């Protein structure tokens, strides 16, 4: 019985530890976003193990399976993993499928809000942030402007894989 218990615990612990480790480029993106927020007089957002796991998972799914084709945008998820696939459309009719991903994939109790970036070259921190700063909607999420003013970010997750960079924001502190 002890062996079985050990085998059940190890993957969870390893998964959490892996999710928290950022690559150098992901660390750069986190630092650049926090520096940008500081320039706007906003507080730093704690890095979330759960939201980082979701960000890394989604960046890899986007890069490997391109669920963002046709009418689906970059908030879409493929049918190639242990999650509910969804096609997120411009009309935001299936926004809940994105908001629920942290709860579906981790123990995070709140909704997640994602910004995503694609480039024809390998994604990098500076390119992603520069693109988001030029986009009124994405910039507003990062600096809590406009409709995002009432969303006090308490957690953030970063993922970069291949041609994609994604950042997940949450209003609930991560307990992991």
The model's pLDDT over 131-151, given as tens digits with 9 standing for 90+, comes to 999 999 999 999 999 999 999
Helix/strand/coil percent split, the chain, to 5: 45, 15, 40
Q: Any idea of the CA torsion for 49, 53, 54, 60, to the nearest 10 degrees?
A: 150
Predicted TM-score of the model (pTM): 0.87
- Checking if the pLDDT of 15 tops 80, the result is no
pLDDT at 172: 97
Nearest CA to 133 among 32, 22, 56? 32
The model's pLDDT over 95-138, given as tens digits with 9 standing for 90+, comes to 888 899 999 999 999 999 999 999 999 999 999 999 999 999 99
Beta strands across the sheet bearing 155-161: 113-118, 164-170, 155-161
pLDDT at 97: 87
Residue 119 tokens, joined: 């480039």
pLDDT at 13: 31
Rounded to whole angstroms, the Cα distance separating 174 from 176 reads 6
DSSP 19-76: HHPPPHHHHHHHHHHHHHHHHTTPPP--B-HHHHHHHHHHHHHHHHH----TT--TT-
The model's pLDDT over 45-89, given as tens digits with 9 standing for 90+, comes to 999 999 999 999 999 999 999 999 999 999 999 999 999 999 999
The model's pLDDT over 36-56, given as tens digits with 9 standing for 90+, comes to 999 999 999 999 999 999 999
Rounded to whole angstroms, the Cα distance separating 11 from 27 reads 24
């Amino acid at each position: 019985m002890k062996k079985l218990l050990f085998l059940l615990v190890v993957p969870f612990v390893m998964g959490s530890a892996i999710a928290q480790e950022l690559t150098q480029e992901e660390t750069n993106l986190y630092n650049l976003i926090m520096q940008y927020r500081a320039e706007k007089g906003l507080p730093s957002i704690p890095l979330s193990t759960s939201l980082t796991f979701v960000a890394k998972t989604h960046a890899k799914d986007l890069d490997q399976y391109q669920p963002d084709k046709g009418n689906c945008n970059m908030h879409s998820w493929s049918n190639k993993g242990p999650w509910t696939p969804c096609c997120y459309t411009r009309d935001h009719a299936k926004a809940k499928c994105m908001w629920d991903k942290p709860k579906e994939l981790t123990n995070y109790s709140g909704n997640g809000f994602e910004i995503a970036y694609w480039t024809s070259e390998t994604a990098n921190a500076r390119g992603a942030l520069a693109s988001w700063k030029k986009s009124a909607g994405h910039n507003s999420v990062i600096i809590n402007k406009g409709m995002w003013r009432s969303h006090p970010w308490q957690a953030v997750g970063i993922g970069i894989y291949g041609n994609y960079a994604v950042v997940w924001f949450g209003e609930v502190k991560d307990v992991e």
